[in-house]
């Protein structure tokens, strides 16, 4: 029989009890074994034994809790009894060699040395090979659990800073230390035990209100948390925890001294005898040394690494053969006195009751489950094929197979779910990061976290850790300004960093935003030129957005900003790389003085992704849906017309935009010959990789499927056009395309063959795709088509011709209780008359100065399209121009002119008034507008009024023109959304320039939103108008020019 | 728990011998008429003819991908990999699924032979030229009565170039 004291047994049972969870039969078994070993199940232990029996039988959370509470109470009772009995030995326990008990008592100040020599002695006559047979599982479990506890301490400490008087929070901080200490003591992890013990003491004083947790106390607790973490982490990988820990002995002792100093310094109530009362509160088990003052005890605990011989023996079947000798004399045993301990235990039970709904599972096992689920899907598919081949004979099987089908799908889904974890676990660690950084930097920063519940694949969460840490550090260091700077700028002294996650479609978006000073675009520009990343010429032409993106370039760093914490730009390329590596996209936005925002778009999971299956040259390939924009199918002539050759590469026209085209077969070297001549039917998958868009031509397109992504073997990983492989329904593997990898090839082609930088080609594509208008198509005679911009139309009414009346000035109809003046298009412009037999007509109601109705025959469609308006072929009054819409030549009606032709007096007065103030022919207006349609229409408005108009396609060209032709432009009319340089930036730059500052600026937008309007006015815009409204534009131009002229 | 220090130049079988293995077992097979062996501890399984999904742009010795109970494995044309120019068999091939420290792959072979037990001391170091094979792919040879068993170095065969 081993020399084991009741104390030890109770201590070990208590340690097990602290960690046991519902259904953890192993742990319960260990407790039973401990009790049996320690004296059998009769006598004093019989109630405990009985309770353990109830725990085993407990089925479900509700049934588990009551006996669990009883167990804790019973352990506490036994411990208290044992304490009272002091040196009593249970007769059923083999008498313990005296020194085990005596040693600590004899040498209370010195602590470990004597017991240890005794344990060594003991070892020889008992079970030498078992002595160090620590329970590896238990150690791992402890490490896991402890890390969780430490995390909660951190969070609670931070919570305490905002709610310093909360007893509940202090309790919550105290308890985990207590638990960790107990188990660490049991496992002989002495430095951990020491550190926890002293921190626990300090926290206990805090609980009793004798000490206030703030400033240095909180710091030292956090430091302790870090130290404990440092000590625990290596334990997960070691065979010899004691040896591992011995490295920390010095650190631990130094730290313990610090704790004691801080502790005593922080205590109020100087009258009490400080140390003793603290000690007795937590540590008063008399079987152990009378509580030495913490100060004396802890630092002097030497931690000899050979306190027990370290021969990692193969694990024994049951722990009972291996009571670790080294455990025995813990100077400040964790089995603490009734009040504190009991409270601690009971409350400790709370978290475990919450977490008992979850169990830890090895990732390998999950992966294996995932594979098996995939196998099952294959089996199901094969079975379904076979059954359907049986035809009528298989009828009786089909319902069974359907059931199997449904269950299999659900199972696959469920298995996938097991890998999903809330991102909150990752987010929570940043509270600490931000707090520490803020303290170090002398700033006041609040971290605002939302969307913690958003779930992501485990591997993705892990992959996000570094990039997010980097971004948070950056935001703290360079984003948020020092309080004095903030106050001076009229902002609250406390800065805010927002960390938010939300799900959007099949993606998760993570936002990291600060309300700091924003990125200094000018400095970035300079640095990029200095570093040779761009030429001064390019720098001049780049918009702010493009400039900001330079921070992600490798080798970019605004070095003069580097501090101990981080440098804006240092490692941003790594951040981008890490994000892109997991199929994500990162974007940066920044507003001077208002802050910087990073957006990260991430896939939900890496393991199972929705993908489109395509075929080329007889082989199937999977394309991850996250890269997919749209599918295009072209037939016959359409195919020939839309695909063009530019030198050696192909492009295709998609709604006016030109996209580079890649033939998958060629890209993979499967077929060298071009098939464009023979094929009448073409499938194009429009893909995006980051900001690059291109079309991928394939032979056939199948369904989208949820595919399980599997890595390629090391003989294939160098192929960067593939992201992995997956198993198809028929059991055969198919390759998954890496769209970014394919795009890199495509980009090269674009650069070489078109002498256009990818950036420019992207901008141009975007410019063209953005050139879309909503237009209403209609006819008067069935053979002629007309269009008006939809936003100008306020209502459509179908009318009977009979309800149209004649009035003095023309035709009218009743509309909403009033008479609506009508205009018949065929009366104003020379077009084909409507067919004679029409009984009804459509009235397009416009608000042009007043309500007016345009009578037409039929509405054909309303569509969104990029209009390539040809204003030269159709110069007739009443029209803006002509364009090809849905394959038909379509005339765009200038509704202002048409109405003016019908009712000239509506406009005359205004026009005359404007003319009286200003002669438009002497004035030149610069019009910046990327959409050719709006450009044409608005140019018409202005030239018809008599102005000279210069038009340009984007803000950069506008700025160039203004700078090169100073004094020649009287007014700038600009669109807001433009490539290269948007209207806001153009305005800011004009206002910033000495020579140009005074120019009146009118901003035009298709949607006037109050927020945009505000931004525009802040940037220095004089007026903010909705596009296409002629009269307002002319009035405003006139007003500003008159104002300026005077 | 400690990770074994692997000498890059030491083959799997050499390592086994160093660790005290006395008897060695080799799974043998034929490419045309030539006899080859693989340490049986590195053989995961042997499969009949498999349908292979080709991998475009891969090295010429990569046949493609096969699925083994849900696991996707690279199939290697062993002839091309070790650089011998014998005739490809007309009959359907076999696949020997082998594993190295960090990779699994399947080797296509013509015919499966028997498992041969050899005393460790009888394994001879590979000559500079044997059957025209690149010597880095051999870990030893064993002369039999009528032929020579060339023992392949699977770690090298499965390593990326």
* Model confidence band, residue A917 (pLDDT cutoffs 50, 70, 90): confident
As a whole number of angstroms, the distance between CA A226 and CA A92 comes to 43
Q: Quick check: helix, strand or coil at residue A111?
A: coil
Residue of A nearest to B102 (CA): A714
Rounded mean pLDDT of A615-630? 88
**DSSP run (H or E) holding A83:** helix A61-85
Q: Is A722 on the interface with B (CB under 8 A)?
A: yes
Closest CA of chain A from B21, distance in Å: 23
Which chain A residues are within 8 Å of B71, Cβ to Cβ?
A: 371, 710
* Model confidence band, residue B76 (pLDDT cutoffs 50, 70, 90): very high
Q: Other C-beta atoms within 10 Å of A531: how many?
A: 16
Q: Other C-beta atoms within 10 Å of A347: how many?
A: 15
Q: What is the per-residue pLDDT across A361-372, written as a single tens digit (0 to 9) for each?
A: 787 888 788 778
Indicate if the alpha-carbon torsion angle A405, A410, A411, A412 is positive or negative. positive
Q: Is B119 on the interface with A (CB under 8 A)?
A: no
Closest CA to A419 of A358, A470, A363, A480: A363
B38: left (phi over 0), alpha (psi -120 to 50) or beta: beta
As a whole number of angstroms, the distance between CA B77 and CA B54 comes to 12
> Which of A140, A313, A715 should one mutate to test binding to chain B, selecting the residue with the greatest count of B CBs within 10 A?
A715
Helices A6-19 & A61-85 angle (0-180, nearest 10): 160
- Specify burial of residue A948 (Cβ count, 10 A radius: 0-12, 13-18, 19+): middle
Beta bridge partners of A852: A846
What pLDDT is recorded for position A1009?
66
Out of A47-61, A185-199, A628-642, B130-144, give the one with best mean pLDDT. B130-144
Q: Is B3 on the interface with A (CB under 8 A)?
A: no
What pLDDT is recorded for position A759?
43
What pLDDT is recorded for position A771?
59
Nearest to B58 among A239, A716, A734 (CB): A716
Q: Where are the alpha helices (DSSP H) in A359-394?
A: 363-390
Closest CA of chain A from B161, distance in Å: 8
Which chain A residues are within 8 Å of B67, Cβ to Cβ?
A: 727, 731-733
As a whole number of angstroms, the distance between CA A568 and CA A580 comes to 19
* Model confidence band, residue A647 (pLDDT cutoffs 50, 70, 90): low
A297 pLDDT more than 70: no
Helices A6-19 & A136-162 angle (0-180, nearest 10): 70
Nearest to A727 among B51, B67, B158 (CB): B67
Percentage of the residues of chain A whose pLDDT score is greater than 70:
76
Question: Contact A333/A285 with Cβ under 8 angstroms?
Answer: yes
**DSSP run (H or E) holding A723:** strand A722-727
Q: What is the per-residue pLDDT across A73-82, written as a single tens digit (0 to 9) for each?
A: 888 777 777 6
Which of 124-153 (B) contact A at CB < 8 A? Answer: none
Which chain A residues are within 8 Å of B103, Cβ to Cβ?
A: 713-715
What pLDDT is recorded for position A680?
67
Q: Quick check: helix, strand or coil at residue A245?
A: helix
Which of 735-754 (A) contact B at CB < 8 A? Answer: 735
Which chain A residues are within 8 Å of B59, Cβ to Cβ?
A: 715
What pLDDT is recorded for position B34?
87
B87 pLDDT more than 50: yes
Closest CA to A1022 of A954, A961, A951, A972: A972
As a whole number of angstroms, the distance between CA B95 and CA B153 comes to 17
Lowest-pLDDT choice from A24-28, A993-997, B122-126: A24-28
What pLDDT is recorded for position A674?
46
Lowest-pLDDT choice from A43-52, A811-820, A963-972: A43-52
Both ends of chain B: CA-CA distance in Å? 30
Which of 5-44 (B) contact A at CB < 8 A? Answer: none
A980: left (phi over 0), alpha (psi -120 to 50) or beta: left
Rounded mean pLDDT of A208-233? 82
Query: What is the set of domains in chain B, with CATH numbers?
Result: 12-158 (2.40.50.180)
What pLDDT is recorded for position A487?
92
Lowest-pLDDT choice from A351-355, A470-474, A908-912, B1-5: A351-355
Q: Is B87 on the interface with A (CB under 8 A)?
A: no
Burial state string for A486-514 with b = 16 or more CB within 10 A and e = fewer than 16: beeeebeeebbbbbbbeeeeebbbbbbbb
As a whole number of angstroms, the distance between CA B143 and CA B131 comes to 13
Q: Is B101 on the interface with A (CB under 8 A)?
A: no
What pLDDT is recorded for position A109?
40
Lowest-pLDDT choice from A257-261, A341-345, A1027-1031: A341-345
Which chain B residues are within 8 Å of A369, Cβ to Cβ?
A: none
Q: B43 vs A148, which has greater pLDDT?
A: B43
Residue linked to tokens 């291996």: A322
A816 pLDDT more than 70: yes
Q: A684 vs A331, which has greater pLDDT?
A: A684
Query: What is the pTM (predicted TM-score) of this model?
Result: 0.43
Q: Is A716 on the interface with B (CB under 8 A)?
A: yes
Q: Quick check: helix, strand or coil at residue A750?
A: helix
A623 pLDDT more than 90: yes
* Model confidence band, residue B96 (pLDDT cutoffs 50, 70, 90): very high
* Model confidence band, residue B27 (pLDDT cutoffs 50, 70, 90): very high
Q: A733 vs A413, which has greater pLDDT?
A: A733
B38 pLDDT more than 80: yes
Residues 6+ apart with CB under 8 A from B88: B79, B110
As a whole number of angstroms, the distance between CA A689 and CA A752 comes to 20
Mark yes or no for CB contact A718/B74 under 8 Å: no
Give the pair of three-digit tokens for residue A610: 């929705």
Lowest-pLDDT choice from A162-166, A333-337, A501-505: A333-337
DSSP A475: I
- Specify burial of residue A98 (Cβ count, 10 A radius: 0-12, 13-18, 19+): exposed
* Model confidence band, residue A690 (pLDDT cutoffs 50, 70, 90): low
A292 pLDDT more than 80: no
Q: Is B60 on the interface with A (CB under 8 A)?
A: no
A46 pLDDT more than 60: yes
Q: A293 vs B72, which has greater pLDDT?
A: B72
B115 pLDDT more than 70: yes
What pLDDT is recorded for position A1007?
61
Size of interface A-B (CB pairs under 8 A): 75
**DSSP run (H or E) holding A246:** helix A241-246
As a whole number of angstroms, the distance between CA A502 and CA B61 comes to 46
A734 pLDDT more than 90: yes
Rounded mean pLDDT of A684-703? 84
Query: What is the set of domains in chain A, with CATH numbers?
Result: 6-99+106-352 (1.20.120.160), 363-419 (1.10.287), 421-603 (3.30.565.10), 620-763 (2.40.50.180), 771-896 (2.40.50.180), 904-1045 (3.40.50.2300)
What pLDDT is recorded for position A319?
39
Closest CA of chain B from A732, distance in Å: 6
What pLDDT is recorded for position A732?
86
Helix, strand, coil percentages for chain B (3-state, nearest 5)? 15, 40, 40
As a whole number of angstroms, the distance between CA A302 and CA A767 comes to 72
∠ at Cα A333 (A332, A335), nearest 5°?
Answer: 140
Q: Is B57 on the interface with A (CB under 8 A)?
A: yes
Which chain B residues are within 8 Å of A732, Cβ to Cβ?
A: 51, 53, 67
Q: Is A782 on the interface with B (CB under 8 A)?
A: no
Closest CA to A191 of A116, A141, A244, A132: A244
Q: Report the largest interatomic distance among the alpha carbons of chain A, rounded to a whole angstrom.
A: 125
Mark yes or no for CB contact A725/B58 under 8 Å: no
Q: A936 vs A866, which has greater pLDDT?
A: A936
Question: Contact A213/A221 with Cβ under 8 angstroms?
Answer: yes
Residue of B nearest to A377 (CA): B70
Which chain B residues are within 8 Å of A731, Cβ to Cβ?
A: 67
C-alpha separations of A779 from A785, A795, A848, A853 in Å = 5, 17, 21, 15
Closest CA of chain B from A583, distance in Å: 22
Which chain B residues are within 8 Å of A372, Cβ to Cβ?
A: 70
Q: B35 vs B70, which has greater pLDDT?
A: B35
What is the average pLDDT value for chain A, to the nearest integer? 74
Rounded mean pLDDT of A677-704? 80
* Helices and strands (DSSP H and E) totals, chain B: 3, 10
Residue of B nearest to A371 (CA): B70
Which chain A residues are within 8 Å of B1, Cβ to Cβ?
A: 237-239
Q: Other C-beta atoms within 10 Å of A727: how many?
A: 23
Residue linked to tokens 């990779």: B103
Give the pair of three-digit tokens for residue A103: 């040693």
Residue linked to tokens 């009272």: A84
Question: Contact A8/A187 with Cβ under 8 angstroms?
Answer: no
* Model confidence band, residue A125 (pLDDT cutoffs 50, 70, 90): very low
A1042 pLDDT more than 80: yes
Which chain B residues are within 8 Å of A726, Cβ to Cβ?
A: 72
Q: Quick check: helix, strand or coil at residue A950?
A: strand
Which chain B residues are within 8 Å of A716, Cβ to Cβ?
A: 55, 58, 62, 74
Closest CA to A525 of A556, A485, A560: A556
Mark yes or no for CB contact A717/B67 under 8 Å: no
Closest CA of chain A from B49, distance in Å: 14
Nearest to A669 among B57, B72, B73 (CB): B57
Which chain A residues are within 8 Å of B74, Cβ to Cβ?
A: 712-713, 715-716
Give the pair of three-digit tokens for residue A792: 């100008």
A469 pLDDT more than 60: yes
What is the average pLDDT value for chain B, to the nearest integer? 85
Rounded mean pLDDT of A644-667? 78
* Model confidence band, residue A506 (pLDDT cutoffs 50, 70, 90): low
Q: A183 vs A661, which has greater pLDDT?
A: A661
DSSP A618: T
As a whole number of angstroms, the distance between CA A53 and CA A28 comes to 9
As a whole number of angstroms, the distance between CA A893 and CA A826 comes to 12
* Model confidence band, residue A1045 (pLDDT cutoffs 50, 70, 90): low
What pLDDT is recorded for position A333?
37
Which chain A residues are within 8 Å of B58, Cβ to Cβ?
A: 715-716, 719
Query: Phi, psi (5° rounding) for residue A655?
Result: 45, 50
Q: Is A239 on the interface with B (CB under 8 A)?
A: yes
- Specify burial of residue A635 (Cβ count, 10 A radius: 0-12, 13-18, 19+): exposed
As a whole number of angstroms, the distance between CA A735 and CA A723 comes to 8
**DSSP run (H or E) holding A8:** helix A6-19
* Model confidence band, residue A285 (pLDDT cutoffs 50, 70, 90): very low
Mark yes or no for CB contact B71/A371 under 8 Å: yes
What pLDDT is recorded for position A226?
86
Rounded mean pLDDT of A804-812? 79
∠ at Cα A912 (A909, A915), nearest 5°?
Answer: 150
Rounded mean pLDDT of A397-418? 81
What pLDDT is recorded for position A406?
84
Query: Phi, psi (5° rounding) for residue A634?
Result: -115, 140
Which chain A residues are within 8 Å of B51, Cβ to Cβ?
A: 732
Q: What is the per-residue pLDDT across A545-571, written as a single tens digit (0 to 9) for each?
A: 778 888 887 767 544 443 434 444 447
Question: Contact A683/A699 with Cβ under 8 angstroms?
Answer: yes
What pLDDT is recorded for position A229?
84
∠ at Cα A836 (A832, A842), nearest 5°?
Answer: 75
Mark yes or no for CB contact B160/A714 under 8 Å: yes
Burial state string for A874-889 with b = 16 or more CB within 10 A and e = fewer than 16: beeebbbbbbebeeee
Q: DSSP letter string over A414-443?
A: HHHHHTEEETHHHHHHHHHHHHHHHHHHT-
* Model confidence band, residue A512 (pLDDT cutoffs 50, 70, 90): very high
């Amino acid at each position: 029989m081993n020399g084991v004291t009741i104390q030890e047994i109770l201590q070990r049972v208590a340690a097990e009890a602290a960690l046991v969870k519902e259904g953890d039969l192993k742990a319960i078994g260990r407790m039973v074994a401990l009790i049996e070993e320690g004296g059998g199940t009769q006598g004093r232990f019989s109630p405990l034994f009985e309770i353990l029996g109830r725990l085993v039988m407990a089925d479900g959370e509700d049934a588990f809790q009551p006996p669990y509470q009883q167990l804790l109470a019973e352990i506490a009772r036994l411990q208290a009894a044992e304490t009272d009995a002091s040196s009593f030995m249970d007769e059923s326990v083999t008498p313990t060699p005296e020194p085990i008990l005596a040693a600590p008592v004899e040498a209370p100040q010195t602590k470990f040395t004597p017991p240890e020599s005794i344990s060594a002695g003991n070892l020889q006559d008992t079970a030498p090979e078992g002595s160090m047979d620590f329970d590896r599982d238990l150690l791992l479990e402890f490490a896991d659990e402890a890390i969780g506890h430490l995390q909660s301490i951190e969070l609670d400490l931070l919570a305490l800073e905002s709610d310093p008087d909360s007893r509940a929070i202090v309790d919550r901080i105290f308890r985990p230390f207590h638990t960790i200490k107990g188990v660490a003591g049991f496992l002989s992890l002495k430095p951990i035990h020491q550190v926890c013990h002293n921190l626990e003491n300090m926290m206990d004083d805090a609980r009793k209100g004798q000490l206030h947790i703030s400033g240095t106390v909180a710091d030292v607790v956090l430091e302790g948390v870090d130290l404990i973490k440092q000590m625990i982490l290596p334990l997960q990988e070691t065979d010899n925890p004691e040896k591992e820990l011995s490295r920390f002995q010095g650190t631990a002792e130094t730290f313990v001294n610090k704790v004691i100093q801080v502790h005593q310094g922080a205590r109020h109530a100087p009258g009490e005898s400080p140390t003793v009362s603290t000690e007795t509160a937590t540590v008063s088990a008399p079987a152990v040394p009378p509580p030495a003052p913490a100060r004396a005890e802890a630092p002097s605990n030497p931690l000899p690494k050979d306190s027990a011989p370290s021969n990692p023996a193969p694990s024994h079947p049951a722990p009972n053969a291996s009571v670790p000798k080294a455990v025995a004399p813990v100077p400040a045993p964790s089995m603490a006195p009734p009040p504190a301990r009991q409270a601690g235990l009971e409350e400790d039970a709370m978290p475990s009751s919450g977490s008992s709904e979850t169990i830890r599972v090895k990732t390998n096992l999950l992966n294996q489950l995932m594979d098996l689920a995939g196998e099952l899907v294959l089996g199901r598919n094969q079975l379904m094929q076979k059954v359907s081949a049986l035809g009528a004979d298989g009828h009786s099987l089909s319902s069974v197979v359907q059931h199997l089908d449904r269950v299999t799908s659900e199972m696959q889904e469920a298995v996938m779910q097991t890998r999903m974890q809330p991102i909150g676990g990752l987010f929570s660690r940043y509270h600490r990061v931000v707090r520490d950084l803020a303290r170090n930097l002398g700033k006041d920063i609040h971290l605002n976290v939302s969307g913690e519940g958003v779930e992501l694949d485990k591997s993705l969460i892990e992959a996000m850790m570094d990039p997010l840490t980097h971004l948070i550090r950056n935001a703290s260091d360079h984003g948020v300004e020092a309080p004095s700077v903030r106050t001076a700028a009229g902002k609250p002294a406390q800065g805010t960093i927002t960390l938010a996650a939300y799900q959007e479609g099949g993606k998760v978006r993570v936002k990291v935003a600060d309300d700091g000073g924003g990125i200094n675009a000018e400095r970035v520009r300079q640095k990029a030129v200095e570093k040779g990343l761009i030429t001064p010429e390019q720098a001049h032409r780049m918009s702010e957005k493009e400039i900001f993106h330079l921070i992600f370039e490798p080798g970019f760093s605004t070095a003069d900003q580097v501090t101990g914490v981080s440098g804006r730009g240092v490692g941003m390329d790594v951040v981008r790389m890490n994000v892109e590596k997991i199929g994500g996209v990162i974007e940066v936005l920044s507003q001077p003085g208002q802050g910087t925002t990073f957006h990260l778009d991430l896939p939900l999971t890496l393991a199972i992704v929705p993908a489109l299956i395509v075929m080329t040259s007889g082989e199937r390939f999977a394309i991850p849906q996250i890269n997919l924009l749209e599918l295009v199918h072209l037939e016959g002539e359409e195919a020939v017309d839309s695909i063009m050759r530019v030198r050696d590469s192909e492009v295709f026209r998609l709604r006016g935009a030109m996209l580079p085209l890649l033939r998958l077969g060629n890209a993979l070297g499967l077929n060298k010959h071009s098939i464009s001549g023979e094929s009448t039917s073409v499938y194009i998958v429009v893909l995006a990789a980051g900001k690059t868009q291109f079309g991928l031509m394939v032979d056939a397109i199948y369904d989208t499927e949820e595919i399980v992504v599997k890595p390629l073997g090391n003989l294939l990983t160098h192929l960067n056009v593939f992201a992995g492989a997956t198993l198809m329904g028929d059991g055969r593997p198919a390759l998954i395309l890496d769209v970014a990898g394919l795009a890199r090839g495509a980009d090269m082609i674009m650069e070489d063959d078109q002498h256009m930088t990818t950036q420019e080609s992207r901008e141009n594509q975007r410019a063209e795709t953005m050139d879309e208008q909503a237009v209403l198509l209609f006819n008067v005679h069935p053979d002629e088509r007309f269009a008006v911009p939809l936003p100008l139309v306020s209502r459509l009414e179908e009318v009977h011709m009979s309800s149209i009346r004649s009035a003095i000035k023309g035709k009218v109809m009743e509309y909403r209780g009033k008479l609506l003046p009508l205009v018949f298009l065929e009366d104003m412009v020379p077009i084909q008359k409507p067919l004679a037999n029409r009984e009804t007509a459509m009235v397009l109601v416009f608000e042009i100065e007043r309500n007016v109705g345009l009578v037409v025959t039929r509405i054909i469609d309303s569509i969104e399209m990029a209009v390539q308006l040809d204003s030269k072929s159709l110069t007739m009054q009443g029209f803006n121009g002509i364009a090809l819409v849905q394959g038909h030549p379509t005339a765009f009606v200038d509704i202002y002119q048409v109405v003016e032709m019908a009712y000239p007096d509506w406009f005359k007065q205004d026009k005359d008034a404007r003319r009286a103030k200003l002669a438009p022919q002497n004035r030149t207006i610069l019009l910046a507008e990327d959409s050719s349609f709006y450009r044409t229409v608005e140019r018409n408005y202005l030239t018809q009024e008599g102005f000279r108009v210069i038009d340009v396609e984007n803000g950069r060209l506008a700025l160039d023109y203004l700078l090169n032709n100073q004094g020649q432009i009287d007014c700038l009319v600009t669109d807001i959304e433009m490539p290269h340089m948007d209207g806001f930036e153009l305005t800011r730059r004009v206002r910033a320039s000495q020579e140009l500052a005074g120019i009146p600026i009118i901003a035009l937008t298709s949607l006037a939103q109050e927020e945009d309007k505000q931004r525009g006015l802040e940037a220095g815009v004089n007026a903010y108008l909705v596009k296409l409204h002629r009269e307002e534009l002319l009035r405003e131009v006139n007003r500003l020019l008159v104002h300026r002229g005077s | 728990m400690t990770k074994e220090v692997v000498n890059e130049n030491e083959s799997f079988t050499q390592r086994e011998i160093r660790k005290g293995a006395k008897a060695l077992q080799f799974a043998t097979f034929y490419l045309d008429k030539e006899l080859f062996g693989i340490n049986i501890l590195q053989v995961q399984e042997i499969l009949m003819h498999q349908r292979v999904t080709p991998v475009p742009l891969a090295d010429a010795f990569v046949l493609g991908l096969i699925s083994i109970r849900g696991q996707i494995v690279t199939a290697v044309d062993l002839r091309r990999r070790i650089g011998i120019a014998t005739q490809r068999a007309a009959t359907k091939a076999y696949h020997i699924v082998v594993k190295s420290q960090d990779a699994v792959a399947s080797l296509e072979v013509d015919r499966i032979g028997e498992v041969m037990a050899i005393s460790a001391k009888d394994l001879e170091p590979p000559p500079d030229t044997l059957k025209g094979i690149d010597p880095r792919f051999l870990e030893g040879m064993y002369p039999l009565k009528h032929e020579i068993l060339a023992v392949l170095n699977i770690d090298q065969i499965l390593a990326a170039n």
